[in-house]
Structure 1
Amino acid sequence: MTWDILNIIGTIAFAISGAFIAREVNYDLLGGYVLGFTTAFGGGLVRNLLIEIPIELIWSQDYLFGIAFLGITIAFFMPDNWIGHLKKWVIFFDAIGLAAFAIQGADYAVSIQAPLIAVIVAAVMTGAGGGLIRDVFAGRKPMIFHSEIYALWAAFAGFMIGLDLMRGPYATLFLLIVIVIFRMISVHFKWNLPHKK
């Protein structure tokens, strides 16, 4: 049940985030669907390849594709005067997707008894992989490499779950909230890992 809820939250959040980015870079409707679906499902595809989970399992989530399609369509056709007010929410949607998918990816890796490093990689790639592919498709510098320690929060989720420090639905919800809060704080205060200039 917790896994299904995380899947739905992450899918909606990332699909909307991808559609907003498509509007920002002036892509057409097809571009909106490509970026939305890529953001929502790209990380899961990469994770499955890395930890040898059957790739075809992604295609069995037809209800999630329907949810993503609806979210992308609404976000893409939203009136322009609403977008101005909602742009700041793109980061919030992205933070929810990052947290939900990082936790889901880490749980997936733990369920197949993967080692700690694989759990952390699964969390990072599930949480941030779709956004990485989206940014490449949108011709943007990938957020994962420069934006307010983005992937570090996904790695934190993998670390906590991989060490079995977060177990059960309440602990999962707490971890999700913590990651979203710290992601938003890091954006607000412009926290970054060291850059070489």
Structure 2
Amino acid sequence: MTWEVLSIIGTVAFAVSGAIVAMEEEYDILGVYILGIVTAFGGGAIRNLLIGVPVSALWEQGFLFQIALLSITAVFLFPNNLLRHWRRWGNFFDAIGLSAFAIQGALYASEMNHPISAVIVAAVLTGSGGGMVRDLLAGRKPLVLKSEIYAVWAVLCGAAIGLNFVTEARELYTLFILTTSLRVLSYSLKWRLPNRNIKAFQ
């Protein structure tokens, strides 16, 4: 049940995120649906490739595809006055998707008895892979590659699950809320990872 709930939450959050980024870039309706679907399922496809699961397994998720399509349709039909609030709520949806998919990816790899390194990689790719593909297709610098703290939270999810610190459903939901909250705080308070700008030396 935990797996299914997190899958639904992540799918809706990232499908909405991809659709609105497409509308910001003035894509047509086909582009909106494509970017929404790619954002929702891109991370899972990359994860499957790296941990040895056939990519075709994605096509078995018919229910999630229906949910993604419904979510994209709902966003596309939203009145413009509601879409104006996207800049306020867009990062929140992205934080929900990151947390839900990071936990889901870590659980997937853990259930396949992969080592902790693979569990962490699966968490990061599932949580941020779709967003990276979305940003690249939209011609934007991927959020995960900026100094802003993003993928670190997925790493922490993977470590917590890979080390068996979190195993019960209640603990997983607590981890989901904690990760989402930390991601929200990181962009609200502008937390940054150390970076170095070599342009200053040119």
Q: Report the TM-score, using the length of structure 2 for normalisation.
A: 0.95
Partner of 2:99: 99
Tell me how far 1:115 sits from its aligned partner. 0.6
Partner of 1:5: 5
Query: How does 1:120-159 map onto structure 2 within 5 Å?
Result: 120-146=120-146, 148-159=148-159
Tell me how far 1:168 sits from its aligned partner. 1.0
Tell me how far 1:7 sits from its aligned partner. 0.5
Q: Is 1:67 the counterpart of 2:57 in the alignment? A: no
Aligned amino acid, residue 23 of structure 1: M
Larger radius of gyration: 2
Mapped partners of 1:161, 1:41: distance in 2 = 22
Mapped partners of 2:70, 2:195: distance in 1 = 39
Q: 1:96 to 1:70 in 2, by over 3 A?
A: same
Q: Is 1:46 the counterpart of 2:43 in the alignment? A: no
Mapped partners of 2:87, 2:31: distance in 1 = 18
Partner of 1:164: 164
Partner of 2:200: none
Give CA deviations for 1:153-195 in whole Å, capped at 9, x if unaligned. Answer: 0111001000000011100000000000000000011111112
Aligned amino acid, residue 165 of structure 2: L
Mapped partners of 1:51, 1:141: distance in 2 = 26
Tell me how far 1:65 sits from its aligned partner. 0.4
**Structure 2 contact 103–158 (Cα < 8 Å) conserved:** yes
SS in 2 for 1:148: coil
SS in 2 for 1:141: coil
Structure 1: 5+ residue runs without aligned partners?
none
Tell me how far 1:147 sits from its aligned partner. 5.6
Identity %: 53
**Structure 2 contact 22–138 (Cα < 8 Å) conserved:** yes
User: Structure 1 runs of 4+ off > 6 angstroms?
Assistant: none
Q: Report the TM-score, using the length of structure 1 for normalisation.
A: 0.98
Mapped partners of 2:45, 2:119: distance in 1 = 15
